[in-house]
Structure formats: C-alpha cells, structure tokens
Structure 1
Amino acid sequence: MTIAVRAASVVEDVRTLVGPKSPGANVCWCLSYRVPSKLNNELRGPARGEYVAELCRAEPPPGVLAYDGDEPVGWAAVAPRSDTSFARSRKIPHVDDLPVWSLWCIRVRPGYRGRGISHALIAGAVEFARAHGAPAIEAYPLDSGGAKVDLTMAYAGIRKNFERAGFAHAADTTSVLAGHPRVLMRLDLR
C-alpha cells in the first residue's frame, strides 16, 4: 500500500472520512474546533456539509486527506490556530505569540487502521502547514501513558505518535479527553 497525502479540496472525499451516512444527520464534520460554538450549533443537517464544501473550495483547504490509490482512507484537520477555537481556549495555553497552526483531528477509516496512515497524516499536515508559511505547528494529543484509548475519542491523536514525528512537549494543558490528559506538542517549522 502506497499512501499519498493531499490537500482536502474534494468535498466528497472529506465526506467519506468525517461526514454522515445520512445527509440529515448532525455529525461533527470536524467543525467543532473550527467554528465558533454558536455557529457550530446553528449548522444543522445538510448545512454542515455545505459549510465544509465551502471550506474545501477555499485556500487553504480545511486539512489533508490520505489516499490509498484513489481511495480516501484518512483525514487530518489542520489550520492556523487563530482560525480555531484553540485561539480562545482557557484549557490549552499559548506558548508564545507565533502564528502557529493547529493539528487537532486525525481519523483513519476502519479497515485501514494499523497501517501507518496516522503517521502519514501527521507528516502530511506538517508539510501542508509549512507550505502555507506556518512557523510552527501544534497538536493537542492524549497522553494515555500507554493505556488503551477509545477509538472514537482518539481523534486528537496519541502523544507517542507526535513524538515519533519530531514534535516536542511544549506545555501541559488542563484539557482532558476520554479520561486522559491532553498535552501541547509542538514542532518548529523554521
């Protein structure tokens, strides 16, 4: 299997990874950290998909997708931190005033897990941020200490995967997800 990571500009491929099975469903679409809470609550059913379609047509697109041939098999949300709710977070600190980018969601389709796709997505997100001028990229993964993490809540990533990609622990946070603390990991891109 050869994995290619590309900008998430094809809405149908993004839908395959983070969209609902039913068009009227109110699933995340990976919008909860991307838009203000009020807008996130107002976007219902098909309006969520329409909003994501606009993001896919914008520059930069809302993240990256991993492909096995033409098949979309993984997703990573990445954007300037200033364009996310992490910009206003009281639980995840700001390390400094650099205009960093955030990588906050990694999803690999069932049937493709355990094949290194999350590692390819992290590397692809780093390159995407670098290509768009980011001086550094942050992630806020779970520090599970090796304990098993529920796959639904593992979207934030696992600390060891970011360490493997060259990220360093930059700060502790007061954010907890699925019973595990989240840490701020950072990679300098300059």
Structure 2
Amino acid sequence: MQSEVTADARPPVLKIVPAQQVPFADVEAVFGTKGDPATCWCQWYKLPRSEWSMGNAELAHLLEQQITEGEHGPGLIAYDGDTPVGWCAVEPRPALPGLPRKRIVAQGSPDQDFDDASIWAITCFVVPRAHRKRGVGGALAVAAVDYARQHGARVVEAYGVDPAARAKVPAADLFPGTVSMFERAGFLEVARPTPSRAVMQVRFSDD
C-alpha cells in the first residue's frame, strides 16, 4: 500500500507507506532519541507494567520485530520527499492486549469483543516538532483508514482528544490524535467517556 495525500501548502504532497516497506532507520528518525516516543516505541498498549523496566533500545527492538513479523500493521510512515516526517500506529485490536484495560475503551467502545480482528485501532501519532502544524497527522489518519479497509477491517476505532474541553493540553498529550482531526478523516463520535476524550469510529459495513 502506498498513498499520496495532499495535506496543505506545507508540504503539498505526503507519501505514506506501511512501516514494513521502509528501513527501520526511518522509523527511528521519526521517534527520535528524546521525549515520550523514544521511551515508549508504541508499546503502551502491548506490554504489561512489569515489563516497563526494559531500556529504550529494547523497546525499539520490540517495535522493529513487530514491524518485521506482523501480518498487518503496526503502523504507517509519512514522507515529505525523502524525509520521514510522521508515524501512525494502526492495527487490529487483538494485537493490543492492554487496550481493553484502558477506561476510555472499556467504558466507551461499543464493540467489546477484543478478539475480533476485523476491528482495528488507531492509537498513536508521532510527528517530530519540525514537521508539526503541516497536516501530517491528518494525512496519516486518512491513510490509516484506507490501509485498514484494504486489509479487511470492518471497523476502525480511534480515541480522540478534545482540546476544547480542557483548559490547556500539552502537546505530549495529543499523541492519540484530536477529535477534529478524526472528524475530518471521516470518523463519527460514538461515545464520550470523559469530557475531553471521545471514542470515534469509521464503519465500513453494518453488523
């Protein structure tokens, strides 16, 4: 799967491809060496708390293994020209064993069968500071829906942050994506477990 998505005037076109199709060095370039992405490597919904004592290099190695060995997912990489500028985590919910334990999901998702591989989840965006506010996250959200549909998804679920419902939202708290961004990508809000967090879905067919 390769998608070219027009984002806005900066940059005009983003190339978005599955992480399996790119060098892992490009994934590393997006996650960087500082901040939350470099200390999580999209393992938040995958590892039990008892395993969070491992180092950042080990977490990065886990993500590399998941990219190499996974049938679908775990994410997409966006490019501006040859420069990797963003990551979006998207994959079937059974690959995310920690997801059902999160209150927003347990209380908000209308689909509680977490073994159903036709329900996919978008859980994380990483956009390096130099490439923010240029439509990268929104383009990735659109491409993630497309990718999930192409690989058999019946439902794509996301857990948007609503900055308007909070006095101040640090940039680090926006990693799940925002409500408005998902709305522009075609998602509908299906639940509001907390004032500032919404469960949002795209459904491709009726149950």
How high is the TM-score relative to the length of structure 1?
Answer: 0.85
Q: Distance in 2 between matches of 1:15 and 1:152?
A: 18
Q: How far did 1:61 drift? A: 3.4
Alignment partner of 1:150 out of 170, 188, 196: 170
Aligned equivalents of 2:141, 2:86: Cα separation in 1: 11
- Asked if residue 46 in structure 1 is aligned to residue 65 in structure 2, the reply is no
Residue in structure 2 matching 1:17, options 8, 26, 30: 30
Cα 1:115–1:90 shift into 2, 3 Å:
closer
SS of residue in 1 equivalent to 2:174:
helix
1:115-168, Cα deviation, whole Å (9 max, x unpaired): 111111001111121122110101101122276531111111110111111100
Residues 85-106 of structure 1: per-residue CA shift (max 9 Å, x gap): 2133343233124641110111
Q: Distance in 2 between matches of 1:63 and 1:72?
A: 13
Larger mean Cα displacement after TM superposition, 125-134 or 143-152 = 143-152
Task: Give 1:9-158 correspondences, 5 Å limit.
Answer: 9=20, 10-20=23-33, 27-39=39-51, 41-58=52-69, 59-84=71-96, 85-93=98-106, 94-96=109-111, 97=113, 99-145=118-164, 149-158=169-178
For 1:89 and 1:109, locate their aligned partners in 2 and report how far apart those are by CA, in whole Å: 26
Compute the displacement of 1:82 (Å).
2.0
Q: Indicate conservation of the 8 Å contact 1:78/1:125, yes or no.
A: yes
Where does structure 2 lack aligned partners over 5 or more consecutive residues? 1-10
Q: 1:38: Cα distance to partner? A: 2.9
Greater share of helix? 2
Structure 2 CA distance for partners of 1:115 and 1:126, relative to 1, 3 Å: same
Between 70-79 and 12-21, the greater mean CA deviation after superposition: 12-21
Task: Could you tell me which runs of 5 or more consecutive residues in structure 1 were left unpaired when the two chains were aligned.
Answer: 175-179
Distance 1:151 1:53, change over 3 A: same
User: What's the CA shift for 1:170?
Assistant: 0.8
> In structure 2, how many angstroms separate the alpha carbons of the residues matched to 1:61 and 1:167?
20
Contact 2:159 2:197 in 1 (8 A): yes
Residue identity matched to 1:78: V
Give the conservation status (yes or no) of the 8 Å contact 1:14–1:65.
Answer: yes
The number of aligned residues is 182
Which 4+ runs in 1 deviate beyond 4 A? Answer: none
For 1:158 and 1:75, how far apart are their aligned partners in 2?
Answer: 15
Cα deviations by residue, 1:64-96 (Å, 9 ceiling, x for unpaired): 011011211011111112221213334323312
Q: By how many angstroms is 1:50 displaced? A: 1.4
Q: TM-score by structure 2 length?
A: 0.78
User: Within the alignment, does 1:183 sit opposite 2:198 as a pair?
Assistant: yes
State how far apart, in whole Å, the 2-side matches of 1:92 and 1:29 are: 21
